[in-house]
A and B are shown apart, each in its own frame.
Chain A
Amino acid sequence: MKLLRPIIAVIIAFGIGAVIIWSSGSSPLEAYKGLFSGAFGDWIGIFDSLFSATPLILTGLATAISFKAGIFNIGVEGSMYLGAFAAAWFGFTFDNLPGLVIIIGAIAFSMAVGVLWGLLPAYLRVRWKVDEIVSTIMLNYVAILFTSYLVNFPFRVPNVANSMSERIAPQAQLPRFTTGSQLNIAFFVAVAVVVIFYIFERRSTLGYEIKMVGLNSLFSRSSGIRNSSVIYKAMMISGAIGALTGALLVLGTYYRFYDFFSPGYGFDGIAVAILSSNNFLGCLAVATLFGALRSGGSMMELFTGIPLDLVNVMEGVIILMVTANLLISRKRRAQRT
């Protein structure tokens, strides 16, 4: 049942997409053929789909873990920016170290920054009861604009048109699998994080605590679970994974920090988390679907002239359907009691 809803939502999204394509005078069949062959038609297509899915998997996990604790954290985008810059800085500063050392160092430094960044809204919420939705939205601006300041002033690279940092050391670039696709080790790191999260949730005491605090904080508190400590921990993990997303994008895709590099991966993570009802394996599935739509969508644009924006419309329809479904079932439940 749980699986049925998203699947129906996807089917309806394709239906609505077809109507839009048809009404603009193109053939939906041709367009979807382009989409599918782009996403799954050959190895390169599949690689590209997984490549597009990688940041979504991670931002989905980072969001889902805080949602599970009952914290509506919108701040993954911000931690991703800070994490990306931290990794880039490590990568171009210690450029005479061996590649593996730089990679591990950059990731560790980036995640440490993410942990600290995650603590900030948690502290505001626990200590001053500041609504985390508001604080994390505002802190996103702080993070994004702060990294923009860094690359435009203190770390400005002279004689370059765009605002960007220096390149990281070449030996620190994450290896790619083929020349035809940007897919790199980062995807497997993301899958590994999914597996770790999955085991963590089922087996660890903290996983249990996060679940209980998220489901019923009055219950957890009176049982002796320290709610605020659990909130801190969940937000630290969320910040760390958000930062990891940024670090992997720098080390595996861009090789440097670009000003405003993200097309909204952090916010996509919210959609991924909601669609998977905060289920970690579900995050992997939903992110892969979105990745396939996006990478297939650019193929479709290339061959049929139907703009990539159509994919955004379809994603929007899926999100709308699933959240509306959630609302309806919640209302029904309320009526029954």
Chain B
Amino acid sequence: MSYLQMENIIKRFPGVLANDNVSVDFNAGEIHAIVGENGAGKSTLMKILYGEYQPDSGRILMNGKELVLRSPRDAIKAGIGMVHQKFMLVASMKVYENIILGDEIAKRGVLNKKQSIETVRKISERYGLQVDVNKPISEISVGSQQRVEILKLLYRKANVLIFDEPTSVLTPSEVESLFKVFRNLKKDGKTVIFITHKLEEVMKTADRISVMKNGKLQGTVSKEDASIPFLTKLMVGGEIPKTTPRKNIEDKKPIVEFESVSYISADGVRRLNNMSFQIHSGEIFGIAGVEGNGQKELIEITIGIKRKFEGTIKFNGDLLNKLDILQRRKLGMAYISEDPFNIGTCLDANLIENLISTRYRDIPFSKGLLINWKRCEEFTESQIKTYGVKAASVKQRASTLSGGNLQKVVIARELSSDPIFVLAAHPTKGLDIKATSFVHDTLIRLRNSGKAILLISANLDELLTLSDRIGVLYRGKLTGVVAPPFDREQIGLMMLGKDVAK
């Protein structure tokens, strides 16, 4: 008999059946991956197990006895804990204070600091969770913050640890050490459950894998019986369309030219340091690097959000430095943003309003001061068809669309102006397999049609498959620009600041 069972779980939200009669079981001492596309119902299922949601029907059993989880408090009492995608830590408080918060070791109301720190330290040594317990949260890395979250659960004696997409915020080396922690937990007889849609990770670490699709459990398989193509098929329910092959582009000319661009932020830190590179027509120029090494500033300077920097940027020979976003867009720039929810679209506006935001000034969308909404509507309808946005009506709010569909809305808008240059900033962040392959295909098509593309991504695999050349960013500096055939290890080292460019 397995340690923890979820039986016939049904959960309905207005308009969606999030969990459709799901039964799954978890063993003590196993690493169990839950995979599925966005909206497959993974998070809902785990939130039910953590007591955040109550199922409409179905039950949860631990050691064969029924568990009633009315709140996360009940779940923690039963030894079930969860690390959310968004960490729940007090930034100004120290690491150990965060860990013991709400469950302090105290004597007559006085906190026993020494013993608290000692307890935390013991747990962290046992599982290989290195953190400096005396540092405030705001001063430690994202990877360390995640370790603090895990420590919080172990401090509360959790036996089941649920992780919601734990690797999405980590650098490759942090991912490795997280998986080491997983294995230590497993050795100690704990149950590790993690949600992901990265199948490489699953094949590397999980003992068993449960696949969800449209709220239903497609099946649970052990790793020995699984393969990436097999899991993909279960998740997507069909083959993934192959991306367009890349064409050989003759006659490349430089479109965007960065010349010794440096940027110093308001707090005096040099975020970009003497960057020089060119992006040519018919080329995808990738920027690799661990997040936080100047990507954000590079994006903002390229599109024109920040305009106070040293050096020059030229576009088709024209100097860009003084031009604002509107002027740059008029010259032929487009911007696929890193955040379709907050930057790429306006969730409270309808699809028409979202699609015309870069073009409403132009004929035929407006004449002088008045907008011709009928034209805008026709335009939106045709764009939505072209890009396969799933929407019942162009008058529905963007907030009703999924992340993948929103990114399609962004792409439909940005490419409608027939740009010369596209800035693609983390364009597949948070998207599922199908949506990601759509974005990849779109970028390659653009490249084949002679556009220049700057692709900034935290996903090295994405950069390796799409880029014609890759520039590696480290502490605001280009440690080198490499051309195919790409050497993954070499790029990895360059991301850590080692100058190994050949």
Contact = CB atoms under 8 A, between A and B. Distances in A.
B369 A219 contact: no
A208 B305 CA distance: 21
Interface string A269-299: 0000000000000000000000000000000
Contact of B360 (A205, A216, A218, A221): A205
Interface string A216-233: 101111111110000000
A170 B116 CA distance: 84
B346 A216 contact: yes
Interface in B342-364: 342-349, 353, 356-358, 360-361
A216 B341 CA distance: 10
A203 B373 CA distance: 8
B366 A222 contact: no
A219 B371 contact: no
Contact of B324 (A204, A223, A226): A226
B369 A205 contact: yes
B342 A219 contact: yes
B345 A219 contact: yes
Contacts of B349: 211-212, 215-216
Interface in B69-128: none
Contacts of A205: 360-361, 366, 369-371
Interface in A212-256: 212, 215-216, 218-226
Nearest to A225: B357
A251 B329 CA distance: 48
B344 A219 contact: yes
A192 interface: no
A217 to B, nearest CB: 10
Contacts of B346: 212, 215-216, 219-220
B348 A215 contact: yes
Interface in B322-336: 324-326, 329-330, 335
A289 B356 CA distance: 38
A100 interface: no
A222 B343 contact: yes
A222 B347 CA distance: 15
A229 to B, nearest CB: 10
A205 B360 CA distance: 7
Interface residues of B, number: 28
A113 to B, nearest CB: 24
Contacts of A223: 325, 357-358
A226 B348 CA distance: 20
Nearest to B369: A204
Interface in B278-334: 303, 305, 324-326, 329-330
Contacts of A218: 342-343
B337 interface: yes
A224 B345 contact: no
Most buried by B among A219, A223, A226: A223
Contact of B337 (A203, A220, A222, A225): A222
Contacts of A220: 346, 357
B426 to A, nearest CB: 14
Contacts of A219: 342-346, 357
Contact of A224 (B329, B344, B370): B329
A204 B368 CA distance: 9
B371 A203 contact: yes
A224 B449 CA distance: 25
A231 to B, nearest CB: 15
A224 B343 contact: no
Nearest to B358: A223
A206 interface: yes
A237 to B, nearest CB: 14
B348 A203 contact: no
Contacts of B347: 216
Contacts of A216: 342, 346-349
Interface string A187-216: 000000000000000111110100110011
B305 A222 contact: yes
A224 B326 CA distance: 4
Given A205-B360, A208-B360, A215-B349, A222 B303 contact: yes
Contacts of B370: 203-205
Most buried by B among A224, A225, A226: A224
A103 B344 CA distance: 48
Contacts of B337: 222
B325 A206 contact: no
A236 B353 CA distance: 24
A224 B345 CA distance: 13
A160 B343 CA distance: 60
Contacts of A212: 346, 349, 353, 357
A226 B325 CA distance: 8
Given A219-B345, A222-B343, A225-B357, 16 more contacts: A202-B373, A205-B370, A205-B371, A208-B353, A212-B357, A216-B346, A219-B343, A219-B346, A222-B305, A222-B344, A223-B358, A224-B330, A224-B357, A224-B358, A226-B324, A226-B326
Q: Which 6 A-B residue pairs are closest in the complex by CB-CB distance? A: A223-B357, A224-B326, A216-B346, A219-B346, A224-B329, A224-B325
8 contacts: A205-B361, A205-B369, A206-B369, A208-B353, A215-B346, A219-B343, A222-B343, A224-B325
Interface of A: 202-206, 208, 211-212, 215-216, 218-226
